[in-house]
Amino acid sequence: MKIVVRTPNWLGDALMAFPALTALRRHFPDDEISIIAPDGIGDLYSGPETEARSFHRGPSARGSSLRRAAAELRNERFEAGLLLTNSFASALVFALARIPERWGYARDGRGPLLTRRVRIRKSDEPVHMVRYYTDLMEGLGIPAPLPDIRLSVTEEEAARGRDLLAEAGLDPRRPLIVLSPGAAYGPAKRWAPERFSALARILQERHGAEIAVTGTAADRSAAAIICAGLGRPAADLTGKTTLRELLGVIQAAAVFVTNDSGPMHLANAFRVPVVALFGPTDPAVTAPYHEPRIILKKDVVCWPCLYRACPYDHRCLAGIPAEEAAEAAGSFL
């Protein structure tokens, strides 16, 4: 059977869906499974992980009309499609592509477009996104293994990560602290760059740490503020790495300090110790799934708001001082 999977749109969600994909592969060991992923996220499936190696990249997830995307899929003659997205539009594309079996959560009014519908499990407690995706598989009658989200890099990718750090003048004998000041979701999830800078300065002074700042080109202004306040130069890698190169840098870190973001889950998948700064979102839903991790969060009356931009004083993240984050990071050194 030819099966196509539409992955989540967000990097972190794509990582948290890995156990669901593992379940799918184990349940259909001899079938051809293709991945449709947004630009950038598809590179997650090009690594050396055993479970991901058998996945093939399908048509692009974005950049075309619904009918054009459906036509591309129709030409592939897929027999089943798994939707890890929640949108009506993604289910409509599968229906227009005339994929006979269409599986997913019955939400966003798309139930009639699906041939196998799973209703969201009702719970009084927040459900972690990893469980959300494995619950979908269980609802489809596909046993889900105990979640174990892991990433690895090739030796060439690891070497490229070391080269990027060396080219920036960092000493490989010192502990490397990688900072991730961005969050694609919006500014409400971003700790102030001045706090990141103060944290990095403390770690330089107390632990002799080297600092690398990672992120997209949109994070360059934050990186400039962070780097300007340091005693020793840092490696500003914002906007300078591909996803696979970023993985090569992250796996070399002694500690990864981050907002609630996709890179947080990348570091966790390498079992790099993570200090995660949570603001408007709930760690019970999107926290790094595995140890080692320290989650910093302040209880404020407006939490959780899930706003992309804070209309008030950003008290949830503003309440986390640099000293507290530095102590957390230092506990891993």
The residues spanned by each domain of the chain are: 2-139, 155-330
- What is the side-by-side strand order in the sheet with 55-57? 55-57, 32-36, 2-6, 80-83, 101-105, 116-118
Given a contact cutoff of 8 angstroms between Cβ atoms, the answer to whether 187 and 310 are in contact is yes
121 compared with 3, residue with greater pLDDT: 3
pLDDT of residue 47: 62
Written as one letter, the residue type at 186 is: G
2-139 topology per CATH: Rossmann fold (3.40.50)
In 46-70, which positions are buried (b, 16+ CB within 10 angstroms) versus exposed (e)? ebebebbeebeebbebeeeeeeebb
Give pLDDT tens digits for 173-213: 999 999 999 999 999 999 999 999 999 999 999 999 999 99
pLDDT of residue 44: 87
pLDDT of residue 72: 86
pLDDT band at 124 (very low <50, low <70, confident <90, very high): confident
pTM over 0.95: no
pLDDT band at 54 (very low <50, low <70, confident <90, very high): very low
| Length in residues, the chain | 333
Phi/psi at 24 (5° precision)? -65, -45
Cα separation, 48 vs 315, whole angstroms: 42
Give pLDDT tens digits for 225-235: 999 999 999 99
Residue 51 has pLDDT above 70, yes or no: no
What radius of gyration, in Å, describes the C-alpha atoms of the chain?
Answer: 21
Mean per-residue pLDDT for 119-147?
A: 94
pLDDT band at 62 (very low <50, low <70, confident <90, very high): low
Mean per-residue pLDDT for 240-263?
A: 97
Map the chain to HEC letters: CEEEEECCCCHHHHHHCHHHHHHHHHHCCCCEEEEECCCCCHHHHHCCCCCCCCEEECCCCCCCCHHHHHHHHHHHCCCEEEECCCCHHHHHHHHHCCCCEEEEECCCCCHHHCCEEECCCCCCCCCCHHHHHHHHHHHCCCCCCCCCCCCCCCHHHHHHHHHHHHHCCCCCCCCEEEEECCCCCCHHHCCCHHHHHHHHHHHHHHHCCEEEECCCHHHHHHHHHHHHCCCCCCEECCCCCCHHHHHHHHCCCCEEEEECCHHHHHHHHCCCCEEEEECCCCHHHHCCCCCCEEEEECCCCCCCCCCCCCCCCCHHHHCCCHHHHHHHHHCCC
**2-139 and 155-330 in the same fold:** yes
Give pLDDT tens digits for 142-181: 999 899 999 999 999 999 999 999 999 999 999 999 999 9
pLDDT of residue 94: 95
Phi/psi at 265 (5° precision)? -75, -30
pLDDT of residue 20: 96
pLDDT of residue 53: 35
Cα separation, 141 vs 27, whole angstroms: 10
In the predicted model, what is the mean pLDDT of the chain?
92
260 compared with 65, residue with greater pLDDT: 260
Residue 323 has pLDDT above 60, yes or no: yes
**Smallest Cα–Cα separation from 269: which of 51, 105, 94?**
51
Six-digit token string for 80: 């089943």
pLDDT of residue 48: 55
Question: pLDDT exceeding 90 applies to what percent of the chain?
Answer: 85
Cα separation, 43 vs 49, whole angstroms: 12
pLDDT of residue 65: 79
155-330 topology per CATH: Rossmann fold (3.40.50)
Residue 59 has pLDDT above 80, yes or no: no
Given a contact cutoff of 8 angstroms between Cβ atoms, the answer to whether 167 and 249 are in contact is no
**Smallest Cα–Cα separation from 277: which of 288, 289, 291?**
288
pLDDT of residue 181: 98
In the numeric block, the tokens 């995307």 are attached to 69
